Amino acid sequence: MYKIMMFSGGVYKFNELQEIVEDIGGFILQSMVMQTETMMHLAFPAEEEPRIKAKVKELGGKLKDLPLGGAEIMVVVPSLGKHHAVYPMCDIAEFLRRNGAITDMMGLARGVGKRIAQMTVEEKAIINECDAAVFVFGDFKECIEEKVKLCEMIDVPYIIVGGPSASDVDLPHYVGGVGRRTSRMNRKEDIEKLNEMAMALADVLEEKRIELEEDPLSASPLFIKEMIEMILPPKVAEELPIVIHMDGLRVKVEAEDEEKIRDIEIGKRKLSEICEIKKSLYEGYLLEILPEAVAGEIF
């Protein structure tokens, strides 16, 4: 299993760290050099952590654990009106990104109210494309308990963020103390609350990770990402052309490149043989990697 961490430090000899990660069979998920500062998201085998830590110490950098790394999370709010956006929706999304997640945001078309709240089939399908969802609701216990029907419709793991404290609301994966906001969540107690939310989401994702370990995929999404980049190198200034999911990838390519992707060789197999490739309702193509038990070995 890969461990995902963030390195931040100076540019001095940081390429040596890159080489070590590649030598031990790891991957560089994101790399950003800002004048004299460097930030890298690294994925490497968990047992090699001491080696990476030693190198980072030598370089004088910092290493931070990313509990949500390698997951795409959908932040869902009842609408994109000023009642829900930009606070607390953007604070939540920002905090998830700080913990390594790739975030998308969605305002439901008819998600407001209590009795009248609903979710369309298309919205449900788009949320199901992500690894997990965070539903951001308001201040009233009665409304949250009624709106759980929206969350129960989706197939991916989710958490609910609302106002009343968790002891008052009897719902699984619920984090209270956020509710309606009209200003940024940048106070100490707000940060603690966001941290609690990120940890609740990490727990939910951990359950999914354990499921995947029990029925392993035929190839790691990180490995497939690297193979795709060898055939279709990222274009200049293109942001996150390949988003890693826990059990697949989202690849933002044009329709004419679809065939090229299907024919990419992963070991002895073609990508189309070990993945279900379908057009994403949101953006690009969705690659769902089949379990090894279904697709067979690739080497």
Partner 1 sequence: MEIKVEGGGEFANASYTNVCNNVFRDVGLRSNIDWVYMYCNAAEHVFIISIKIGRAPSPVKVWDITLREGNKLRITKEEYAPKLLALLWDRYSGRVQQESRVIIRFELEEEEVAKLNELVVYDPKEDLTARMLDGIDRILPEGARVRYPIPSAQGKGITIIASENPISAEWKVKAKELVGRIASSGGGA
Q: Does 114 bind partner 1 (CB under 8 A)?
A: yes
Comparison of 161 and 287: residue with beta carbon closer to partner 1? 161
**Which residues inside 183-242 make contact with partner 1, applying CB under 8 A?**
183
User: Whole-number minimum distance, CB 92 to partner 1, in Å?
Assistant: 16
Comparison of 164 and 221: residue with beta carbon closer to partner 1? 164
Q: Residue 230: how many CA atoms within 13 Å on its side-chain side? A: 10
Q: Does 157 bind partner 1 (CB under 8 A)?
A: no
> Burial code of 182-204, b = ≥16 C-beta within 10 A, e = fewer?
eeebeeeebeebbebbbebbbeb
Neighbours of 41 (CB within 10 A): 20
Q: Report the residue from 139, 263, 265, 297 that binds partner 1 according to the rule CB under 8 A.
A: 139
Residue 104's nearest CA partner among 82, 83, 123, 120 is 123
Identify which range of 4-12, 52-60, 177-185, 288-296 contacts partner 1 by CB under 8 A: 177-185
Q: Report the residue from 22, 23, 53, 113 that binds partner 1 according to the rule CB under 8 A.
A: 113
Determine the Cα–Cα distance for residues 16 and 12; give it in Å rounded to an integer: 9
Comparison of 5 and 108: residue with beta carbon closer to partner 1? 108
Judged by CB under 8 A, the number of residues near partner 1 is 28
Q: Does 112 bind partner 1 (CB under 8 A)?
A: yes
Query: Is the separation of the CB atoms in 36 and 11 below 8 Å?
Result: yes
Q: Does 107 bind partner 1 (CB under 8 A)?
A: no
**Which residues inside 60-79 make contact with partner 1, applying CB under 8 A?**
78-79
Q: Structure tokens of 13?
A: 């000899």
Residue 132's nearest CA partner among 202, 35, 183 is 202
Query: Is the separation of the CB atoms in 272 and 263 below 8 Å?
Result: yes
Q: Does 88 bind partner 1 (CB under 8 A)?
A: no
Q: Does 168 bind partner 1 (CB under 8 A)?
A: yes
The three-state secondary structure class of 270 is: strand
DSSP 78: S
Q: Does 252 bind partner 1 (CB under 8 A)?
A: no
Q: Does 117 bind partner 1 (CB under 8 A)?
A: yes
Q: Does 115 bind partner 1 (CB under 8 A)?
A: yes
Q: Report the residue from 57, 62, 64, 83 that binds partner 1 according to the rule CB under 8 A.
A: 83
Comparison of 200 and 298: residue with beta carbon closer to partner 1? 200
For 57, 82, 92, 103, 284, the CA distances from 178, given in Å and listed in that order, are 37, 16, 10, 19, 33
Comparison of 51 and 180: residue with beta carbon closer to partner 1? 180
Comparison of 13 and 141: residue with beta carbon closer to partner 1? 141
For 66, 104, 198, 241, the CA distances from 126, given in Å and listed in that order, are 25, 10, 22, 18
User: Whole-number minimum distance, CB 111 to partner 1, in Å?
Assistant: 9
> By CB neighbour count within 10 A (0-12 exposed, 13-18 middle, 19+ buried), where does 49 fall?
middle
For 16, 76, 163, 209, the CA distances from 158, given in Å and listed in that order, are 39, 10, 17, 14
Q: Report the residue from 35, 36, 167, 182 that binds partner 1 according to the rule CB under 8 A.
A: 182
Interface residues with partner 1 (CB under 8 A) are 78-79, 81-84, 112-117, 138-143, 163-165, 168, 176-177, 179-180, 182-183
